[in-house]
Chain A
Amino acid sequence: MQTELGGSIAFEPVAVHYAYVARYSYSDIVVQNDNFLRLTAYADTYQTPGSCGVATFPQGRQVEYPDRLGNTVHRVRVTVPHQELIIAAAGKVCLNHHTPVVPDVPLNSADYGLDAQEFLSASRLADPESVRNAALEAAAGATTLLYTVDNVVQWIYTNIRYERGHTSVNTAAADVLVSRRGVCQDQAHLGLAMLRSRGIPARYVSGLLTRQPGETHAWVEFLHPQFGWLPADPTRGVVIHIGTDYLKFGVGRDYSEVPPVSGSFVSRGGGHLDFTTARVFFDRDNISVDDALELLPSGHPSP
């Protein structure tokens, strides 16, 4: 094990397999269901994706493309009439256990180029102006990048209670600040707004916690002028050194740009998410979307 500034501590990479499934139920027949899925492992220094795939039941036609932020998007349009839609994803990822040794630098937003500007300005759910005073308090006088990130992450970890049922996918950072509670997504949004407010470009990350099966997770990334995007998780109080605990699907300016599933359907009725879960396996040799279906309480859907 050797360390140098700007290098990293080397650990063995870990190959894992993931599976995700969601089931949507509708009160009337759905004739068209058009969904954008961001459920494919993202490629960066922390992880190297192997083969990944998605499927829906009933089946639809798919296209796959990279969006402007490098997320792999599957668009699946189902045109068979249905009252239940299952979305499944599965894939292989090599978690690199990347442990960069990163120098702290003075805070200076001038260090960032034009491309970073959109991660400094307001997005729909994370407006830096709306949390300016709290961000100052959270930063606690820090004048360097890593100290500021650390202080903000710890502030959220300490002050925003993890509690379900009080927020929705449309809850903005400012509301989280007022209610002082929310889920990982809300804590991430507050983190984004606060970091941006301190002049640090920050983006939202959607993915999984590899050792906490059940649901998707959200954390943030901040931009280091020399080392690029680095992770920080306000929900768990972790910065940069995420080990092999995280599996990343995609990034956006906030949740609204990178939801795991988003879309629209044509029906006279309404719909709701009826069941969803995700698992990461450390002990498998392969995986397919059929394995994801096994995670459903009732097993395979009827054909």
Chain B
Amino acid sequence: MLTRDISKTSLNEHLHSDGTTRSVYQPLIDSLNGLGAPELQQRWRQANASAALDAFTFMLDPREFRTVPTDWLPRLVPADEWETISRGVAQRLKAINHFLSDLYCGDQQVVPQDVMYSCQYYNPELQDHRPAADVFVHIYGIDLVHMGDGRYVILEDNLRIPSGIAYQMKTTEIGLDVLPELAGGYDIVPYDIRSAYLDMFASLCDTDSPVCVLLTDSKFGSAFFEHRYLSELLGIPLVEGSDLYIGHNGRVWVRSLDGDFEVDLVYRRVEDLELFVPGLTQAYLDHKVALVNALGTGACDDKLVFLWVPDMIKAYLGEDAILEQAHSYDLRSPANRQYVLQNLDTLVLKTRQGYGGLGVFIMPDLDKGYRSRLSQQLIEQPQVFIAQETLDFSQHLVFDESSGEFEERHVDLRVFAVQNGRGEVTVFPGGLTRVSEANSRVTNNSSGGSCKPSWVVR
């Protein structure tokens, strides 16, 4: 079943570059062969039904119930590769946190001023405001791609409201439930998101058992599944903006039929706080409430600021970056603009403020008309973009339930980490593997991609 000739240039996760099977994938492939296509189709339908019953959704259109398209075949990351990823992610999180602290409360010299202050998510009102325990980034999501041989490259950072951790848990949970055979021969490294989050929340508050709430944008938001899942997992109320108000004591209160109550910490899953809860920013600035993530982290979501993260690591930690990042071009420089215009057909263009795969243009994958429109836009407004090298990153087997065939799709890996008030970082093994559509290298769920379970295995 898995002997079909795969003739292509990209690395496939289950193969070495010489075409032989990576030993870490052998037990999985044996299990798949043992089950056979008809059985896999049956299990796939079971898993999909289970996802639908659990409302495992990522809604692109609020009027349409849509479960997350998932390929239940796990992606495997050997523990030694994970070790490097984990150290690299923790290092980067610490450096970015140092930088944000220096940006808002110090005199940072790493990123040029015009880049920093022109950034949409830089907040001047946060100057001199220190968040609890000096932690800005509590929850961090980082997008990596695998180039083969354990070489992982960073594509971008997610620091405002990184989403996907519940998807990481749920894909693994359903996958193991419906396809327990696939775990045969593996020791999957476990993780405990609940304790890490609750410990992090408590470390940011003065009281031992703080009252925390999860602030969602709405039931109709794309990631509402995750908000609901995390609120249940963490045992904290799920609230909308209209459920919160600022009391006369300046603190944040929750409206409740059983009597209103005060809140110590808001795990916010919205960006424009004031639109949802007028006065919340001021309550935060007055240290009446803790926010996760802190305000102001979005400054490092900017795709141009990304270019200086290796310098942050050097400046604040005195170390070299453990993980490399995609080579990127600062288009403020005339020489870079010229190079990028001349080589546009081979590069990736990204808008500085884009997210969720929006504003990412992989030029080699676009048609000529589209490329020339983007080239014109680049000439007219270079300050809107950055350019990045196009990476030929790995593909992974996916199972097509309708045809019973295996196919290959590009995959990335979004890894999540938390940092508590003691400055300790926990990186959750596995992450969320996101799968592109056929003939695409864009893996974001907002852009139509699907996901799959990821296991770190010993």
Contact = CB atoms under 8 A, between A and B. Distances in A.
B271 to A, nearest CB: 11
Contact of B338 (A32, A114, A123, A256): A114
A111 B52 CA distance: 66
Interface stretch (B259-267, B318-326, B373-381, B393-401): B373-381
A141 to B, nearest CB: 29
B241 to A, nearest CB: 12
A77 B123 contact: yes
B274 interface: yes
A109 to B, nearest CB: 15
Interface string A279-294: 0000000000000000
A68 B332 contact: yes
A68 B380 CA distance: 16
B103 to A, nearest CB: 11
Contacts of B274: 31-32, 79, 266
A118 B380 contact: no
A63 interface: yes
B275 A75 contact: no
B278 interface: yes
B411 to A, nearest CB: 36
Given A61-B127, A66-B114, A115-B334, A79 B282 contact: yes
B42 interface: no
Given A61-B127, A65-B117, A67-B114, A124 B334 contact: no
Contacts of B376: 122
Interface size range on A against B:
20 to 34
Interface in A150-173: none
B184 interface: no
Interface string B3-33: 0000000000000000000000000000000
Contacts of A256: 381
Contacts of B125: 60-61, 77, 79
A114 B334 contact: yes
Contacts, number: 66
A66 B117 CA distance: 10
A121 interface: yes
A123 B383 CA distance: 11
Interface residues of B, number: 27
B117 to A, nearest CB: 5
A62 to B, nearest CB: 6
A83 interface: no
A77 B124 contact: yes
B124 A61 contact: yes
Contacts of B278: 31, 81
Contact of A118 (B113, B116, B127, B337): B337
Contacts of A81: 278
B250 interface: no
A65 B114 contact: yes
B279 to A, nearest CB: 9
Contacts of B123: 77
B358 interface: no
Nearest to A36: B118
Contact of A124 (B118, B332, B380): B380
B41 interface: no
A62 B117 contact: no
Interface string A48-82: 00000000000011110111100001011101010
Nearest to B118: A67
Contact of B117 (A32, A73, A266): A73
A31 B281 CA distance: 10
A68 B113 CA distance: 9
Given A79-B282, A266-B274, A121 B379 contact: yes
Contacts of A67: 114, 118
Contacts of B382: 118
A63 B117 contact: yes
Interface string B319-355: 0000000000000101101100000000000000000
A267 to B, nearest CB: 9
Given A61-B125, A75-B117, A117 B338 contact: yes
B272 interface: yes
Contacts of A63: 117, 124, 127
Contact of B272 (A77, A127, A266): A266
Most A-side CB within 10 Å, residue of B114, B123, B125, B338? B125
Given A31-B275, A62-B124, A67-B114, A79 B281 contact: yes
A117 B337 contact: yes
14 contacts: A32-B274, A61-B127, A62-B124, A66-B114, A67-B114, A75-B117, A75-B118, A77-B123, A79-B282, A117-B334, A118-B334, A122-B380, A123-B381, A257-B383
Given A65-B116, A73-B117, A266-B274, 17 more contacts: A60-B125, A61-B124, A61-B127, A62-B124, A63-B117, A63-B124, A63-B127, A66-B114, A67-B118, A73-B114, A75-B118, A79-B125, A79-B282, A122-B376, A122-B379, A122-B380, A257-B383
